Structure 1
Amino acid sequence: MGHFKDLPHGDSAEIGLADARGKLAEHLVAPVVGYLNAGSTLAAAAGHTFDELDPARPEIAPLAILTDGEWFWPSDLPYYVETYRVGVPEEFLRHAEASGWRPPQLSLQRLVEIAEEM
């Protein structure tokens, strides 16, 4: 989730970032951002992501993929949720809420297994 088609690291099958803007209810922003920021780093690369909706294109996050073991998201998704209230799938919201808005901390072994499955 969060691989919006108009991002450099996006997926052409996904919705555009501008189209996802304002889709998340205000009361869900803080818990969703907290959950996303607490995910385990599955992969990281040199470099940063930039705000694709701001003409000044400020640097917003290191380039990485985070996970909770079931869902995967780019490291810039928490910024877009907090800044633009971009929507996330309802299934993810139910999943995160059911876990008390705290993702499990995955072991290195589990992260290796997930990476191999990908």
Structure 2
Amino acid sequence: MPLVPGSLPEESREPLADYLAAGRVLVVAAGHAPDPLAEGPYEYVRPGRATDGTWTWDLAWEQWVRRRGCAPPEEFVRHVEARGFVPPPGTNG
């Protein structure tokens, strides 16, 4: 996925980031990893993966969407929009 800050419309950021945050965590590593999009030396992301039962994603997607406006793959965005930005039952974090 190309990480392009500002590529996601402002009005989509919060609902999409909330959906990502509600995913069921599959695996998470202890600690943090350097954020490849960091504007400073002390910005980190949580390494791990989450799911909504259909898609899996890096935990960092939430941060990249919410803070930087990076658009996830278009197919994933369509999937979330089709669900009305409501995660399936049992996936909430």
Q: TM-score if structure 1 supplies the norm length?
A: 0.66
Q: Which consecutive unaligned segments of at least 5 residues does structure 1 have?
A: 1-13, 107-118
Trace 1:79-94 onto structure 2 (pairs within 5 A): 79-94=63-78
In 1, the alpha carbon distance for the partners of 2:61 and 2:18 equals: 11
- The number of residues matched between the two structures is 89
In 1, the alpha carbon distance for the partners of 2:77 and 2:60 equals: 18
Shift of 1:33: 0.4
Aligned counterpart, 1:111: none
CA deviation string 1:41-68 (max 9, x = no partner): 11122221333322223234x3220111
Which has the larger Rg?
Answer: 1
In 2, the alpha carbon distance for the partners of 1:59 and 1:24 equals: 21
Residue from 42, 54, 76 that aligns with 1:70:
54
Trace 1:1-118 onto structure 2 (pairs within 5 A): 14-15=1-2, 17=3, 20-52=4-36, 53-60=38-45, 62-104=46-88, 105-106=90-91
In 2, the alpha carbon distance for the partners of 1:48 and 1:26 equals: 27
In 2, the alpha carbon distance for the partners of 1:89 and 1:59 equals: 22
Determine if contact 2:35/2:44 at 8 Å carries over to the other structure: yes
In 1, the alpha carbon distance for the partners of 2:34 and 2:26 equals: 20
Determine if contact 2:61/2:72 at 8 Å carries over to the other structure: no
Identity %: 36
Determine if contact 1:38/1:102 at 8 Å carries over to the other structure: no
* Higher RCO structure, 1 or 2 (CA under 8 Å, sep 6+): 2
Q: TM-score if structure 2 supplies the norm length?
A: 0.81
Q: Which consecutive unaligned segments of at least 5 residues does structure 2 have?
A: none
Cα 1:92–1:50 change in 2 (3 A) is same
Determine if contact 2:48/2:58 at 8 Å carries over to the other structure: yes
Counterpart code for 2:33: T
